Amino acid sequence: MPRSQTRQLQKPPIDAWGAGRLGLIFSLLYRYGPPRWSQYVRKHWAGQRLVIAVPYLWLVLFFAVPFIIVLKLSFSEVRLAMPPFAPLIERVSDVAYAVNVNLGNYAFLFSDPLYTSSYLYSVKVAAISTLLCLLIGYPMSYAIARSAPTLRNIWLMLIILPFWTSFLLRVYAWVGLLKTDGLINQALGIFGLGPFTMMYTDFAVYIGIVYSYLPFMILPLYSNLEKHDLTLLEASADLGAGPIKSFLRITLPLSFPGIVAGSLLVFIPAVGEYVIPSLLGRSDQLMIGRVLSDEFFANRDWPVASAVSIAMLLLLVVPIVLFQRFQNRELAGAKK
């Protein structure tokens, strides 16, 4: 066999990627260039991995550096100085150094009932708020996913529209709505009802969290429901299943990854919420975000505050791992 024919057999034919995107020059290089212009090498080019590594490196630094600083502070001792903590490694002489590791900060978290009750209360508020967001957001997501394509963008824009306003201003707006002489009690007074005490209660906190984080539940659910194959529901109807049974046996199981993703997107930030409980919540029961802020700025006990933040991070590790797992499963299902 001639050498030119052998060289052509070793190279795969020009695909649409090369001819369509880079034109004649790439086609010539691909056909007559060195063997490195193969489809396998193009897909596994090291430069692509280098480009992808840049945001990953930024995320590692964005998380690792603050985490290391806070972790170091959590093992320090408080001091009436600036900065208000003792160094971990302290020089005691010209040739000697002392390592000061204080584990009492973590022991103090379990001995003081304030921190335990704050953790449990934060988890309770976040769990109930997540459930309320799911009960409200699932029908909304289902309606948007089953609406006409021309209307979906309008509904999604209305869902995202509150994000164009400052988060703090939106929470302050609820103060004017929920207070004793607010708009809600004024409207109820027309019918001879009220006034009801809604401010500085758990009810106000749930209202604020659900209102603020409801889009985080709707958008993942819509992304999941919009991909469902509607022919499965038609086949279920042909086999005699009613709408409720078809929903419970087909739609609900298929939407489970979206439910998990939306629930974790609401639960994780709601545990450490600070603004909403401070403006709308009770004064006799603090969430862990408020306790963390008070330790840093009011008590100036940075070691204990750092221990509180590390404990809160460990509390959220399991939901974060679950979110990553279901997100990878969702991406794998989308590729198939």
Instruction: Write out pLDDT tens, residues 285-310.
Output: 888 888 888 888 888 888 888 998 88
- For the segment 321-326, the average pLDDT, to the nearest whole number, is 71
- What is the reported pTM? 0.76
* Domains detected in the chain: 3-74 (no CATH), 108-335 (1.10.3720.10)
Predicted confidence (pLDDT) per residue in 253-284, tens digit: 889 888 988 998 899 899 989 999 999 988 88
Say if residues 130 and 266 touch (Cβ distance below 8 Å): yes
Residue 77's nearest CA partner among 325, 324, 302, 313 is 302
- For the segment 12-25, the average pLDDT, to the nearest whole number, is 45
User: 43: pLDDT confidence band, cut at 50, 70 and 90?
Assistant: low
User: 128: pLDDT confidence band, cut at 50, 70 and 90?
Assistant: very high
How many residues are listed for the chain in this entry?
Answer: 336
**Beta-sheet strands, E only, within 76-206:** 89-91, 97-99
Cα separation, 49 vs 301, whole angstroms: 44
- For the segment 38-44, the average pLDDT, to the nearest whole number, is 51
The mean predicted confidence, pLDDT, of the chain is 80
Kindly state the tokens that stand for 25.
């020059």
User: 44: pLDDT confidence band, cut at 50, 70 and 90?
Assistant: low
For residue 78, the cross-strand partners are 85
- For the segment 213-226, the average pLDDT, to the nearest whole number, is 92
pLDDT at 53 over 90: no
Say if residues 295 and 304 touch (Cβ distance below 8 Å): yes
Burial of 75 (0-12, 13-18, 19+ CB in 10 A): buried
Which pLDDT score, from 0 to 100, does residue 134 have? Answer: 95
Which pLDDT score, from 0 to 100, does residue 26 have? Answer: 46
pLDDT at 183 over 50: yes
Cα separation, 305 vs 118, whole angstroms: 13
